[in-house]
Amino acid sequence: MHIFGEQVSTNVMLVSAIYWVGVIGVVIAIVGLLLLDGGLARAKNAMSTMTEKIVLMGVGGLAILGVGYGIWEWQFYTALGVPDAFGSAIEHWWFFSGNLNHFAGSINPETTPLADVSQVYAAFFVVAGAFVAGLFHSAAIEKVKLKSMVVMVVVLCGLVTPFVWYLTWGSAGLLSNRGTHDFVGIFGFYILVGTWATVLLWRVKKVREREGRIDDEAAEEEHAVNPPLLAAAAMLVIVGVCAFVPACGIISPEEGFFGISTTPSGFGLVLTNVVVAAFAGAIGGGIVSYRTRNPVWVLIGPIAGYLSGTAMFDVGHPWSIGLVALFAPAAAALTSRAVRSTLGITDEKIVPLTLGVGIYGAVMAGFVGWHVETGGYFGGKPGYVAGHAQITPWWQLAGVGATVLVGLVTAFITILGTEKTIGIAVDQKVDETGLDIANWAPPEIAEQASLGVAD
C-alpha cells in the first residue's frame, strides 16, 4: 500500500496531537456536567439522571457525525471553489465516507490535505455533540422522558447545531464570512441550546399545569443540593475548558495560531484570557451571591465568566475579557429573573448561562473585537479571501438573531411534535415515586411504589 508521507509528517502529527488534547478537554468538561447534575438531582432520581445523560451524550455525539461534520465543512469547500461544495463536503465527511474510514496516510493529499488533522477534528465534533446533548439535558433533568429527549437530541445535534455552526462558527459560513465572529462556539454551543432549553421548559411547565402538578418552585424545595460537589464540578468544567479551547482555532506550524475565523492570535493570549475570564466570573458571582443571598451564582460564576468570553478569547485582551466576565453572573441572574417573571420558568443553570450570558458575550465581542479582520479562508476564492471582513457589533447581533430564530423555529417544530405524539413530561406517578424506582427496581416493587404501597 502506498503511504503519502506528507499526510503523516511530524508537523501534521503535532497539530493532530494538539487537537487530540482538545478532545480530552471536552471529555473532562462532560464529566463536570455529570457531576453538576449529580449535585442538583434529588436522591430518588440521581442514578437515572446520570444514566440518561450518558445515553443522550452518546446519541448526540454520533448524530452529529452522521452528516453534521460535512455540513460544517461545506463553508470551506465553498471558499476554496470546490464544485458542488455542499454535496462534496457531505460525500467526503459523512459517517461512512472514505475520509473517515481510512487512515490518513492512505488518503491522497491532493484531494484531502491534512487528512489526519481533519479526522481528529471529526472526533472533536463527536465529543462536542455529546457536550451539546449534555447541556440540553441538564436544563430539564428529572422532568422529561428519556425517549422524548432522544428524539430531540437527534434533531438538535444531528442537523440544527451543525447548521448554526456552518452559519456562525468558522470563517466562510453565511454569516462568519461577513463579519460575525465566534471562537469557541458561543452561537451553536450555547445560545442555540439556551433557546431550545427555554422552549422545552416552557412546554413542560404547560403540561404539568394541565395535569395539576406542583409548580416548579415547590419541586425545587425538594432538591438536596450538594454545594461541595457543585463547586468541584464547576472547576472541573474550567479544567476541561483550558484543554479544549486551543482546539477551537487553526494551527499552522509555519505561520502560527489563528482563531477559527482566520483572526491572528496565540496560545498564550487565549489561555490567559480563559483563566482571567473564569476568575473574574468567580468574583462577579460572589458579588451577585452576597447581594441576593443565593450561593448558586458564586458556584457557577467561573463558568459564566468563561462563557462570556467564548466568542472573543482570540481577539480580546486580558483586561477587556476580565471586565466583560466580571458582569457575566449578573447577566445570568437577570436572565433567570426575566424567564421566571415572563414564562414562569424556574432555572438558575442552563437558560441563564447559555441564553443570557451567551447573548451578552456574543454582543460584547462585537465591541471588544471591533474592526479586527476576520472571515474568508486561506487560499479562498474572491469574496472569501482571508481577513476580508471586520468584526462589528451589528454582525454579532445578526449572529444572535439568526441563531435564536433558527433555534425557535426548530425547537417549536421538534418539541411540540414530540409532545403531541409520544409526550415529553415524565408521568406523574413516576415523578412522585422517583425515576430510579421506576427504571431500576424489580417490576413488582416499581408497581407497588407507583400505587403508594411500597415500604
177-233 pLDDT, tens digit each = 999 999 999 999 999 999 999 999 999 999 988 877 665 444 444 455 677 888 888
pLDDT score for 221: 46
pLDDT of amino acid 187: 98
Q: Residue 401's closest CA among 191, 139, 104, 261?
A: 191
Query: Looking at 347-356, 363-372, 414-423, which range is the least confident one?
Result: 347-356
For residues 381-405, average pLDDT: 97
- Count how many domains the chain has: 1
Least confident of 139-143, 170-174, 220-224, 350-354: 220-224
The pLDDT value given to residue 445 = 60
Indicate if the pLDDT at residue 234 is higher than 50.
yes
pLDDT at 447 over 80: no
> Which range of residues forms the domain containing residue 150?
5-274+394-424
> Is there a contact between 19 and 121 (Cβ–Cβ < 8 Å)?
yes
Contacts of residue 334, defined as CB under 8 A and 6 or more positions apart, other chains included, come to 356
Whether 326 is in a domain gets the answer no
380, part of any domain = no
Opening angle at CA 430, ends 443 and 426, nearest 5: 125
Domain membership of residue 191 (yes or no) is: yes
Q: What is the pLDDT of residue 451?
A: 54
In whole angstroms, what is the distance from residue 187 CA to residue 418 CA?
24
Q: Is residue 336 part of a domain?
A: no
Cα distances (angstroms) measured from residue 253 to each of 111, 172, 388:
21, 22, 23
Mean pLDDT, range 411-419, rounded to an integer: 97
Per-residue pLDDT band at 449 (split at 50, 70, 90): low
Is residue 285 in some structural domain?
no
Residues 240 and 31: their CA atoms lie apart, in Å, by 9
Q: Provide the CATH number for the domain around residue 113.
A: 1.10.3430
CB 450 within 8 A of CB 430: yes
Q: CA torsion angle for 312, 315, 318, 323 (degrees, to 10)?
A: -50
User: Is residue 108 within 8 Å of 4, Cβ to Cβ?
Assistant: yes
Please determine, for residue 443, whether its predicted confidence score (pLDDT) is greater than 90.
no
Residue 324 has pLDDT above 90, yes or no: yes
Any domain includes 315: no
Considering only residues 215 and 122, tell me which one the structure prediction assigns the higher pLDDT: 122
Length of the chain: 455
Q: Across residues 73-79, what is the average pLDDT?
A: 97
pLDDT > 90 in the chain, percent: 73
CA distance 368 to 199: 31
More confident residue, 228 or 354: 354
Residue where the block lists cell 406542583? 214
Mean pLDDT of the region 371-392? 95
Q: Residues 6 or more apart from 285 whose CB is under 8 A from it?
A: 297, 298, 299, 300, 301, 302, 304, 305, 329
Q: Give per-residue burial for 35-72: e unless 16+ CB within 10 Å, then b.
A: bbbbbbbbebbbbbbbebbebbbebbbbbbbbbbbbbb
Beta partners for residue 251, in sequence order: 257
Whole-number Å distance between alpha carbons of 390 and 402: 18
The answer to the question of residue 216 being in a domain is: yes
- pTM here is 0.93
Beta bridge partners of residue 143, listed in sequence order: none
Q: Is the residue at 334 inside a domain?
A: no
**Considering the chain, what is the average pLDDT of its residues?**
91
The larger pLDDT score, comparing residue 230 to residue 333, is at 333
Residue 137 banded pLDDT, cuts 50, 70, 90: very high
